[in-house]
Amino acid sequence: MTEYDQNFKNIAVIFDNDNLNNTLGEIIEQNGLKQIRAAETEKYPHVTFFFSGGREKKFQGEKRILVPSPKVATYDLQPEMSAKELTEALLKEIKNQSFDFGCINFANADMVGHTGVFQAAVKAVETVDACVEQLVTTALENGYTIFLTADHGNSDYMINEDGTPNTAHTLNPVPLFVIDKVSKLNLKPGKLGDIAPTILTLMQLPVPPEMTGALLTK
């Protein structure tokens, strides 16, 4: 009924995919800047194909880092997943200041949260906390501004009211932290669609008309 892959030829579809123009990655490319997309296997499509609006091809100046996820039956057996290996790869890029914009995803809190194993979720979040601390510290030392957020919750609500494990995504609002060594930003409540235009504004890049979100800075 719809096109799942552009490589499939001579197939009639009922619903065409929307062609998204002027995504964040595209604006980065148009301005001659470098970008990096990094995740382990479980979240790699999210920082590449999905983040690029359904585009498989790399943008000019885009580098991708794929770290293999561990081979386990369920991730409660290894809640650290590959966060440490991903962090090590990113620290090298940050220290070399090899990119102007980076999209990075840690899979732990989501993938381990889906198992419903509380203590494993705790370990997953502790692992991400330690990795994020390293990345933020090094990024600040190298002049980067960090946007730290999530697209949904999972490990934030692990036990239902009846005592059974919760394995689904949550509907709780997600936090957004903007961490910068220079500017003192005041943020206002908003939505995920506001983040991209806010990033472009802070990078002093044009915000395209397709981005209808508001600026999150007061």
- Give the strand pairing for 177-179 and 62-67: unpaired
List Cα–Cα distances, 128 to 2, 92, 213, in angstroms.
37, 18, 29
What is the average per-residue pLDDT within 125-144?
A: 98
**What per-residue confidence (pLDDT) applies to 140?**
98
Summary mean pLDDT of the chain:
95
Residue 134 in this model has a pLDDT that exceeds 80: yes
DSSP state at residue 75: G
| β-strand partners of 159 | 165
Residue-wise pLDDT for 184-201, tens only, equals 889 999 999 999 999 999
What average pLDDT does range 158-180 have in this prediction? 96
**pLDDT at residue 12 in the model:** 80
pLDDT at 198: 98
Residue 170 CA to residue 149 CA, distance in Å, equals 15
pLDDT digits (tens, 9 = 90+) for 72-127: 999 999 999 999 999 999 999 999 999 999 999 999 999 999 999 999 999 999 99
Q: Measured between alpha carbons, how far is 62 from 79 in angstroms, rounded to an integer? A: 29
Instruction: Identify whether the C-beta of residue 94 lies closer than 8 Å to the C-beta of residue 144.
Output: yes
Q: What is the pLDDT of residue 183?
A: 77
The predicted model gives 173-186 an average pLDDT of 90
* pTM across the whole model: 0.91
pLDDT at 39: 99
Calpha distance 72→108 (Å, rounded): 13
The token pair at 216 is 């999150």
Q: Render pLDDT for 9-37 as a digit per residue (tens, 0 to 9).
A: 777 877 777 788 999 999 999 999 999 99
pLDDT for the residue numbered 113: 98
Tokens 């498989």 belong to residue: 56
For residue 60, which phi and psi values (nearest 5 degrees)? -65, 130
Q: How far from 58 is each of 53, 61, 99, 196, CA to CA, in Å?
A: 12, 8, 14, 19
Mean pLDDT of 34-42: 99
For residue 167, name the pLDDT band (cuts at 50, 70, 90).
Answer: very high
Report whether pLDDT(215) > 80. yes
Domains identified in the chain and CATH numbers: 24-202 (3.40.720.10)
- pLDDT value at residue 18: 74
User: Which alpha helices (H) appear in the chain, and where do they start and end?
Assistant: 24-30, 44-45, 83-95, 108-113, 118-141, 195-202
pLDDT (average), residues 42-50: 98
Do 89 and 22 meet the contact criterion of CB atoms below 8 Å apart? no
